[in-house]
Structure 1
Amino acid sequence: MTSRDDDRFRVRPGPPKSPRTGQPGGGQRFVSRVLREASKAGVKPSQTARAGGRSAAKLGRGHVAAQTAGRRLGPGARRVVIKARYVVLKQAGARSVETHLRYIEREGVDRDGGKGHAYGPTTDHADLADFEQRGRGDRHQFRFIVSPEDAQQLEDLRGYTRHLMTRMEGDLGTSLDWVAVDHWNTDNPHTHVVLRGRDQTGQDLVIARDYIATGMRQRACELATEWLGPRTEREIREGLLREVEQERWTSLDRGLQQQARDGVVDLTTADSDAARSPRTLLIGRLQRLTDMGLSQTDGMNRWRLRPDIEPTLRAMGERGDIVRTMQRALGSQQREMAVFTPGDGAQPVVGRVVGKGLADELQERGYLVLDGIDGRAHYVALPAGTELEQFPAGAVVEARGSAEARAVDKTIAGLAEGGLYRTDHHLALLRAQPGRGDPQETVAAHVRRLEALRRAGLAERVTEGVWRVPADLPERARHHDAQRLTSGSVTLQSHLPVERQTRVIGSTWLDRQLIAGAVGVADKGFGGELRETLRQRSDFLIERGLAERHGTRVVLARNLLGTLRQRDLDAAARGVAGETGLPYRPAVEGERVSGVYRRNVLLASGRFAMLDDGLGFSLVPWKPVIEKRLGQRMTAIVRGSTVTWELGRQRGLTI
């Protein structure tokens, strides 16, 4: 190397380039994406991606602890189930944390059937509102359900949880900010733990995937074993003996599946652990599976398992859980039970709410138990994200299956000529038939539907006012709606129990049943009670001059629902006017009503939104979507009991 100055040089590497684009920084962005995805918790260690020679499962706190946890556990170790959920708060929504915290501290979950009590690392009375406030700036949150198999024997479930979280702090190398609530309302007492996604330095708390998948559970098993001691051979055998007859997926079934070769289990020379799965128990289980049609004998000491044995047994276990849930909700009432299954041909179910809860507490998927008007009890799974608070006990609810073909789709297909639907042609037809509502608004409703179908790839806008649609549009659109509403739709028909509807001024669900003739109402169960309340409602309407009795028939007044709704609105408007000092400005049929959405009012006739235009207020039918726009100015067009909302100033943005 020469000492001349002009021979000296300094290496100045440029930014890395993407091998695909050749642009600087591309490689770094790729690594960043890998690291970001790897930080997400809850994936099994086997599901790893390689980035720069490092396993994604090893990224984050707790990886080393995950490799060492559970080494001291023997075959008699206590078992603990832990379910984990990683929640990105921005995606979950502003109310996600508040709703979850309110749910875990709800009524009926403590030992005495009372309200749950939140606690933390050092307090028995944690302030959930303060916890939610502290975590508002967090990127994510961890939610755990810790369920020791022998929770009843632990007695101090609160102390157990605190010890577990302390061990987690040691494994993760940071203090943790968490709250928990113990639930004793199920056959398996368990604890809900909500952990903030920040470490003690205020940085994002990233936990290694393998710690979430196995390390935390191993720590929980170690702690339970220390507190209660290992299970004795007698306890292990009794547990397995109970599994022999159970109609669910058990550890015996898992062992049989592992021993099977090409679907055949051969117990002639079975090498099973005598302490955990004695040969006699395996034979007993196989005989039970044969009775259930899930296996068949294939020679001496040989059985052939059905290929779908695991999903079938898991489904049977879930159905057994549903039956027990319904029995608890019904109490001493005897009903034929049914599970509502949305799908083509599913008949609507109408009934009152006698039970509700979460079928999946971690994913917050709810369910309702309905005492149906058909005399049966129905279990209805709610669509994801549905809040249970909107279905109070005693409320009347309707569940429907897959969507039927919409009338608007049939109209569009019927008016299309050569596969083209034209708004001017539709408008001319409507104007030639006076008395059928506002033609402009009717066509606008069809255009809104076409816009939705265009986004789904089922229609094409050729030019302004001209749309290309397939000949079988109604069926395609129905299929699209059915896929979008895989859990069906559940609608609140009335928040009032039927006994409270008998003597109220307002357009009630009972009135609609009277007009429809109470079709499909059984003589037993809730159906029998409904027939009696309909008689009482008829008597009340006769007293108020809104119906007449002619022999055994009751003749209802014309426009009964409109009259009752208007009286209900007038009474509510007087109350709001007294509170606010603003005059009431009734909405005019077919005209636009504008104002700032101030609040909603719950009446016997339904829920209504209060719009304040500065000079007075109006009450118009409410829809769930407008609740996010509280305090904003909106416009509505009211026609009877229906409403079209125009949100913001965007053209055509209506609901």
Structure 2
Amino acid sequence: MAGHDDDRFRVKPAAPRPRAGPGPQRFIAQVLKKISKAGAKRSGKQEGRPASTFGRGRIAAVVAGRRLGPNARRVVIKSRFVVLKRAAVKSVAVHLRYIERDGVTRDGRKGRAYGADTNEADLKSFQERGQGDRHQFRFIVAPEDGLELDDLKEFTRQLMRRVEVDLETRLDWVAVDHWDTDNPHTHIVLSGRTASGEDLVIAPDYMAHGMRMRASEIATEWLGPRSELEIRQSLMREVDQQRLTGLDRALIRQAGREVRIDLTGHSPARQRQNILRARLQRLEGIGLAERAGANRWKLRPGMAATLKTMGEREDALEAMRRALKGQQRELVVHGAEGTGAVPVIGRIVGKGLTDELNDRGYLVIDGIDGRAHHLQVPAQVDLSQLPLHAIVEAPQQGRVKDVDRTIVVVSENGIYDAINHLNRLRHAGDGDPQATLDVHVRRLEALRRVGLVERVPKGKWRIPADLIQRTQQHDARKTAVRVIELRSHLAIEQQVRAIGATWLDRKLVTDAGVARRGFGAQVCDAMQSRVDFLCEQGLAERRGDRVALARNLLVTLRDRELAAAGKSLQHQTGKTYRPLLDGQQANGIYQRSIQFVSGRFAMLDDGVGFSLVPWRPVIEQRLAQHLSAVVRGASVTWSVGRQRGPSI
């Protein structure tokens, strides 16, 4: 019995007492830590940062590329996580339209989207499937040796199949290959849901590191490892570049916080040391590094930012040269901020994206000042609405508006009185005092909404003493990036004999200065041809070297075009066209906008007939709503509802 009892005895140790210091790590955390130490380094600002603790692909992020050596093929992947609720309403459609734009294929044709199982993906269907998604992923995949890959589509499909394995779910994606740059690349748009309908959450390490390693694995399998000669040639190409390169990043890491480089040691990688020395000599020549002794240099603070800016400028100049196609112009590159001292007016000769991942665009404008301008445009601007050869204007930034000056001059004891201003306008013989007053009232209401002025009873506003300075600061913040205004969707050649108030007519009326060189010379010739056409129409008369234009030329041309357009629309809709007289009010449902020679017009439908009213961007959010409008000369006042109500 005793032996039987001994056999049943079991030791039950108590739980270990807590010790000072951090508690024991979870097993999975220990595994990730060991793998992180043994595997390839992650990308990021700080080496040795902890592995991702959430999202799919956490393990794959640290094991991907472990078998790759330093001679593996390199692939650059840029990724962006887009929260759709925060993005612009049409941001997805605009991005999909952009990646499928013209001129991106090998033969310069329109790009064609493809997917996992098709060479002709339906982007509209893809967009509809993702309408309820919380977010979306966008990638740009650029193999360094993309020109040597036989089939970029199959490369992308194989990459996405490996991504599906790593993320443990089927993926809904579309892609478009771009061959319009020196380095072929692929745009991939990935839906934000898994096959089971859950939100697709990808580990940050996988997006920053794992996916790139998978692409590098495939490129190395297809083309084989890079030879010593290929590696040396790749590094040598970076030595003379005026942009931030991989060599510069290596130098910055090696220098550390002291920003000093010492190449006196005998490194086993002697060839790489020689290349770094050559790069430092190049940086010394452009003032970004200073020799501190034999084989010792000191890097200039902010070197990376300076090189990045230099690279962006070189890209801008190259884009301008391509757009001008050999035409000789003085080239002007405008930055994102602080470069709006003068207005830029001209025709669009080139456009594209400076940042394809974030949809930040640019325009190359052949200016009437005889120079070519490179302008950055906000991400929300749809470049498809700005056609090539259209006439655009980037207004001057920081300029004091005449309406603000008048408000300050008319105000008495800090109070602007609308009735008093109207009486002044009548006494001064203003052609349309009510229209002029409406312009000032609209400006005051806009300033009131942002808290710069205060409205008091009986058509009065309280004006601060420093209103001019405040409005300048407000407008500068509002237009930190140059705003682009479309002046005419027609090229100047099409405007010469067009029926309607063209941009050339406005230049004739304002007699604004145009340089007689470059595009400015072409504008001057087109204006003379336009005068000949106006003389044929009885709207102008040559008197020696001078030209007498008809009274109210712009209104007359506009009314002629609208009369013809209204007659055509009358046949299409079966409703009566109601032309607007000056000062007459139009009411109706805002149905749509139409682009004419004279500009863009809104169609107001009152159920029986319709009117065409000059369009303003602010009414686009009122589509299908009942609006009222009053046209006086070239200005229009919009109101919500049938009667004169809150002005918009």
Unmatched 5+ residue regions in structure 1?
1-42
Instruction: Establish whether residue 414 from structure 1 lines up as the match of residue 409 from structure 2.
Output: yes
- Residue 638 (structure 1) aligns with: 631
TM-score by length of 2: 0.88
Corresponding residue of 1:91: 86
Match 2:313 to one of 312, 319, 322:
319
Matched, 1:231 2:231: no
Deviation at 1:464, TM superposition (A): 6.6
Tell me, yes or no, if the aligned pair for 1:44 and 1:209 is still in contact at 8 Å: no
* Structural mapping, 1:62-81, within 5 Å: 62-81=57-76
Alpha-carbon spacing, 1:472–1:587, altered in 2? closer, same or farther (3 Å): same
Residue 496 (structure 1) aligned to one of 484, 490, 501: 490
- Aligned equivalents of 1:471, 1:92: Cα separation in 2: 39
Q: Which amino acid aligns with 2:142?
A: S
How many Å apart are 1:547 and its aligned residue? 1.2
Aligned to 2:302: 308
Deviations 1:120-163 (A, max 9, x none): 11111111111112111222211111111111111211001111
- Measure how far apart 1:225 and its partner are: 1.6
Q: CA deviation at 1:606?
A: 0.9
**Separation in 1, partners of 2:317, 2:555:** 42
Structure 2 partner of 1:615 = 608
Are the equivalent residues in 1 in contact too, given 2:438–2:637 (CA < 8 A)? no
The reply on whether 1:559 has 2:555 as its aligned counterpart is: no
The worse-fitting range, judged by mean Cα deviation, of 202-211 and 450-459 is 450-459
Counterpart of 1:387, as a letter, is: D
Q: 1:45 to 1:551 in 2, by over 3 A?
A: closer
Q: Deviations over 1:276-321 (max 9, x none)?
A: xx22212211111111111222222222221121111111111111
1:412: how far off?
A: 2.7
Amino acid at match of 2:520: G
Could you list the per-position Cα deviations for residues 66-121 of structure 1 after superposition, in whole angstroms to 9, with x for gaps in the alignment?
12222222211211111112222222243222222111111111111111111111
1:369-448 paired onto structure 2 within 5 Å: 369-423=364-418, 425-426=420-421, 429=424, 435=430, 437=432, 439=434, 445-448=439-442
Q: In structure 1, which of residues 91, 100, 124 is the aligned counterpart of residue 95 of structure 2? A: 100
Task: Say which of 164, 168, 175 aligns to 1:169.
Answer: 164
The alpha-carbon distance between structure 1 residues 344 and 606, as it changes in their structure 2 partners (threshold 3 A), is same
Query: Where in structure 2 are the equivalents of 1:501-580 lying within 5 Å?
Result: 501-522=495-516, 524-580=517-573
TM-superposed CA distance for 1:486, in Å, is: 0.6
Question: How big is the shift at 1:455?
Answer: 4.3
Distance in 2, Cα, partners of 1:272 & 1:512? 71
* SS of match in other structure, 1:566: helix
Q: Give the Cα separation in 1 of the matches to 2:160 and 2:210.
A: 12
The 1-side partners of 2:540 and 2:457 are apart by 53
Task: Look up the match of 2:262.
Answer: 266
DSSP-derived class of the 2:607 partner: coil
Of all paired residues, the percent bearing the same amino acid is 56
Is the alpha carbon distance of 1:508 and 1:68 closer, same or farther for their aligned partners in structure 2, counting shifts above 3 Å?
same
Moved more, 360-369 or 427-436: 427-436
| Cα separation, 2, equivalents of 1:325 and 1:59 | 41
**Distance apart, 1:476 and its partner CA:** 1.4
For the 8 Å contact 1:438–1:590, the answer to whether it is kept is no
CA distance in 2, matches of 1:442, 1:392: 33
Q: Which amino acid in 2 is paired with 1:562?
A: V
Q: Note closer, same or farther for the CA distance 1:327–1:273 as it changes in structure 2 (3 Å cut).
A: same
SS at match of 1:260: helix
Offset at residue 444 of structure 1 (A): 5.6
SS at match of 1:180: strand
Aligned residue runs from structure 1 range 29-68, under 5 A: 57-68=52-63
* Distance apart, 1:181 and its partner CA: 0.6
Size of the aligned set, in residue pairs, is 604
Worse overlay, 466-475 or 613-622: 466-475
- Distance in 1 (CA, whole Å) between partners of 2:492 and 2:350 is 16
- Give the AA of the match of 2:243: R
Does the Cα contact within 8 Å between 1:369 and 1:379 map onto a contact in 2? yes
Q: Could you tell me whether the CA contact under 8 Å between 2:51 and 2:205 is conserved in 1?
A: no
Judged with a 3 Å threshold, the aligned counterparts in structure 2 of structure 1 residues 572 and 175 are, in CA distance, closer, same or farther, namely same
Cα pair 1:636 1:645 within 8 Å, conserved: yes
Given candidates 199, 203, 210, the residue that maps to 1:208 is: 203
| Contact preservation (8 Å) 1:346, 1:400 | no
SS in 2 for 1:58: coil
Contact 2:114/2:120 (<8 A) preserved: yes
Distance 1:420 1:514, change over 3 A: closer
SS at match of 2:484: strand
Choose which of 247, 264, 275 in structure 2 pairs with 1:281: 275
Q: Is the alpha carbon distance of 1:273 and 1:648 closer, same or farther for their aligned partners in structure 2, counting shifts above 3 Å? A: farther
1:115 corresponds in structure 2 to: 110
The answer as to whether partners of 2:51 and 2:58 remain within 8 angstroms in 1 is: no
Q: Deviations over 1:520-555 (max 9, x none)?
A: 322x32122222211211111111111111222222
Query: Are residues 73 and 545 of structure 1, via their aligned partners in 2, closer, same or farther at CA, if it must alter by over 3 Å?
Result: same
Q: Could you tell me how far 1:170 is from its partner in structure 2? A: 0.8
- Among 138, 145, 162, which residue is 1:143 paired with? 138
CA–CA distance in 1 between the matches of 2:486 and 2:547?
27
Aligned alpha-carbon RMSD (Å): 2.6
| Structure 2 CA distance for partners of 1:159 and 1:621, relative to 1, 3 Å | same
Q: Is the 8 A contact 2:141 2:187 kept in 1?
A: yes
Aligned residues of 1:399 and 1:491 also touching (Cα < 8 A): yes
Residue number in structure 1 paired with 2:585: 592
Query: TM-score if structure 1 supplies the norm length?
Result: 0.87
Do the aligned partners of 2:344 and 2:396 also contact (CA within 8 Å) in 1?
Answer: no
Q: Which digits, 9 at most, give the CA deviation of each residue in 1:484-542, with x for residues without a partner?
A: 101122111111110111111111111122223351322x3212222221121111111
Quick one: distance in 1 between partners of 2:325 and 2:139?
31
C-alpha separation in 1, matches of 2:201 and 2:644: 44
Q: 1:290 to 1:435 in 2, by over 3 A?
A: closer
One-letter amino acid matched to 1:324: E
Distance 1:552 1:142 in 2: 63
Partner of 2:324: 330
Structure 2 gap ranges (5+): 1-41
Residue pair 2:628, 2:644 contacting (<8 A) in 1 also: no
Contact preservation (8 Å) 1:343, 1:401: no
